[in-house]
Amino acid sequence: MRYKRTVVASFRLGTTLCALLAPSASWAQGVPPLAERLQLCATCHNPDGNSTIPDNPRLAGQDAAYLARQLADFKNGSRPSPVMAGIVGLLADEELKPLAEFFSEQAPAGPTGAADDAAQAPGRQIFDEGILGSAVPACSGCHNDDGSGTEKYPRITGQHARYVVQQLMNFRSGVRANDGRAVMQAVAKRMNEQEIQAVAEYVATLKEEEEQ
Ligand code: HEC
Ligand code: HEC
């Protein structure tokens, strides 16, 4: 009898220890080191997050909380992306924050777009002043004059024009509807494709203003 009770007790102790030592199921299955994960991201976003492929956003210097939330939203499906859904499906929840922090800490490279003042003029006007006739607010009002954003608004300085067009089209159609209080959906729904194209070309030429 005594022996039996001891076996039961030690079995219970063993289970408790296992639970204490394994904080999550994914840990038990083995989350790969950050460096290994980063190799996967680098194939599309470059090792420092300054992606050179115009469909893939630049992540370098972006607000970490924003990046982490986008990863979580790809994972829960509230921001649909056939490409990123497959990627985040491989990641454990506890990997999202360190990945976001890594890319946030990387130095952003210069603008992806070529500055051509004549071609940029209509885009610059939308960015700085909005579109009066259709009540589009100035992008600079939220994203800053140089697109560098704030804690509340993501950085868009020098972002690839193609990616910016795609996102504005997704906000406009409601495919991307994970923006708080539908702020960006409201902005994009008031714009036509030509205006979206123009402002995206201008966004791609933006450079970070020197710190005063
Ligand atoms: C096969 C290419 C590919 C790989 C690999 C990849 N990404 Fe992406 N990533 C994309 C594309 C394309 C988008 C744009 C998705 C969309 O359409 O909204 C994107 C978007 C993102 C965004 C949203 C950025 C923003 O400004 O809103 C984050 C964050 C991100 N990726 C992080 C990662 C991380 C972290 C990894 C590695 C674990 C990774 N990506 C691997 C292609 C890739
Ligand atoms: C009232 C504030 C506000 C205004 C005005 C505004 N934005 Fe935004 N924008 C946001 C917010 C908030 C987000 C982040 C949405 C989210 O969290 O998913 C965002 C996201 C974006 C993104 C996606 C960034 C990424 O990395 O995927 C782009 C591109 C963008 N805005 C471009 C613009 C442009 C161009 C204009 C002007 C036509 C504009 N925004 C005007 C608030 C604003």
What pLDDT, on the 0 to 100 scale, is given for residue 209?
Answer: 85
Query: What integer is the mean pLDDT of 97-106?
Result: 98
**Dihedral through CA 125, CA 52, CA 33, CA 80, nearest 10?**
60
Q: How many whole angstroms separate alpha carbon 128 and alpha carbon 120?
A: 12
Tens of pLDDT, residues 107-162? 999 999 987 777 789 999 999 999 999 999 999 999 999 999 999 999 999 999 99
Q: How many whole angstroms separate alpha carbon 164 and alpha carbon 147?
A: 12
Q: Is the CB of 126 under 6 A from ligand 2?
A: yes
Query: What integer is the mean pLDDT of 8-20?
Result: 43
Say which residue the tokens 């923006």 belong to.
Answer: 179
Going by alpha carbons, the residue nearest to atom 34 of ligand 2 is 139
Q: What are the tokens at 193?
A: 């494709």
Q: How many whole angstroms separate alpha carbon 100 and alpha carbon 83?
A: 17
Q: Which stretch of 17-21, 25-29, 72-76, 90-94 has the lowest confidence by average pLDDT? A: 17-21
CA of 55 to the centre of ligand 1 (A): 10
Going by alpha carbons, the residue nearest to atom 38 of ligand 2 is 139
Residue type, 124: R
Does the pLDDT at position 197 exceed 70? Answer: yes
Say which residue the tokens 């210069």 belong to.
Answer: 110
